[in-house]
Amino acid sequence: MNRAWVIVGKIMQWVAVIAVAFLGGWITGRIVGVSPIDVFITGISNADARLLTPGDRRQQFAVFWDVWDLVEGNFYQPEAIDRQRMVYGAIRGMLATLDDPYTFFQEPEEARQNRESMEGRFEGIGAYLRVENGMIVIDRPIRNSPAAEAGLQPGDIILAVDDQPLAELIAGLSESDASARAVNLIRGPAGTVVRLTIRRPAEDRVFTVAITRATIPLITVNSAMLPDKIAYIQITEFKATTTELLDQAIAELRPQQPRAIVLDLRNNSGGFLTTAQEVLGRFYDGVALYEEERGGVNKELRTITPSADRRLYDIPMVVLVNGGSASAAEVVAGALRDERPNTTLLGEKTFGKGSVQNIYPLRDGSSVRITIARWLTPDGEAINSVGITPEHIVSASNDPVYPTPCVPDQPEAIDCADAQLYWALKLLREGVTPPITEAATAP
């Protein structure tokens, strides 16, 4: 019995020595920095998050949480740790490994602005902004918007919003983040007032203007009846309101009995696929495209056909495209070329964005876009990374030797010139095709 107590006593002595040594090491670690126990404690605090990781992924995610714990327990400026930014940064890094520029993450504010834009209307002052040399600049006000009515001009620099200096608020941000920050400050509920401090370099003056916000419709369809009964229709994007605007344009054009159509898709960056199918349904009934889905399955998607009074079938058409025509605009151009009789593409090779993205809203208001398929034209041609080459190549030019009627997006112009529109009209009126060359030749 005594021998047993002696053994127990020695064990207790060793335990005490180890405990004192460990405690001494921990105290020393706290004096000079951190110790393994800090990382251990941090790991315990993140146990719930680890358990939320799906069981078949825990082994792969273990190293992620190991690094997270090391940062939490060791980073020398703990006050600089922004866990939300760490999470968002990890998501961005994960998506970047897919090497797909169209699969990406948007933080809550950027996602909200994108949703508003795609709905075809937003509440604000109605001006496009750009970032230039670290400053927020008015790119152009939207016609008939509060910004336009207040006299804002392209090139005006916004120095402050409601007396908050913008330069301080956007310092160190990327261009997209700086623009999003400025937009968030300037936008607001319709009927409220925002004060902008403006510097106008052209006049070398600074002034303040109070603007009452309003609901701003985004005009994505412009139309006009040109001479010789040629209908001109420009679609700038495929938003939720585009089909309604196109129907309004067709309702005005049909009674004038157009004998030909110019459909202008230049610099149209795309939008909703469903809207593209609806637009196509105004010009023919049939296959709109094929989606090549995961596993190589091809799904046929058809046009969405409207009532008879909203159709412009069987009328000769020239579709204008260029390097800014992308995504849904390329779907429409390719489908019209493949499926609609008496339709010709003219201009420059399109961008080559032929993949399909779903937008998934996330629980905190952020969103992620994920490529789920790629598009093929009705004839089975790929668009992605290839683009669509028009039948008639005509380079852009506003040389006066290419006089054209002024179309609706040029309302203040007196004399207009547009080589691509010039040749489109000449083809429809006279059957004359542009020279077979990389660039248009003067007539």
Q: Which residues have a catalytic role annotated?
A: 327, 339, 353
- Please, are residues 442 and 422 in contact by the beta-carbon 8 Å criterion? no
Tokens of 327: 């995504």
Q: In Å, how far are 87, 199, 278, 405 from 172, measured between CA atoms? A: 20, 22, 43, 46
Element holding 312 (H helix, E strand) = none
Residue 103: φ, ψ to 5°: -105, 110
- Count the neighbouring beta carbons within 10 Å of the beta carbon of residue 189: 10
d(CA 4, CA 48): 43
**Secondary structure class of 411 (helix, strand, coil):** coil
Q: In Å, how far are 154, 258, 398 from 225, measured between CA atoms? A: 29, 8, 21
- Please, are residues 220 and 242 in contact by the beta-carbon 8 Å criterion? yes
- Please, are residues 314 and 341 in contact by the beta-carbon 8 Å criterion? yes
**Residues 6 or more apart in contact with residue 343 via CB below 8 angstroms:** 316, 317, 318, 319, 336, 337
In eight-state DSSP terms, residue 213 is -
d(CA 311, CA 198): 47
**Secondary structure class of 166 (helix, strand, coil):** helix
d(CA 202, CA 158): 14
Residue ranges of alpha helices (H) inside 120-207 are 146-149, 166-170, 175-186
Tokens of 242: 């585009």
d(CA 150, CA 267): 28
Q: Which single residue is written with the structure tokens 């273990």?
A: 62
**Secondary structure class of 271 (helix, strand, coil):** strand
d(CA 290, CA 296): 11
Distance of CA 184 to the CA centre of its chain: 16
**Paired residues of 417 in beta bridges:** 403
**Residues 6 or more apart in contact with residue 169 via CB below 8 angstroms:** 181, 182, 185
- Please, are residues 342 and 314 in contact by the beta-carbon 8 Å criterion? yes
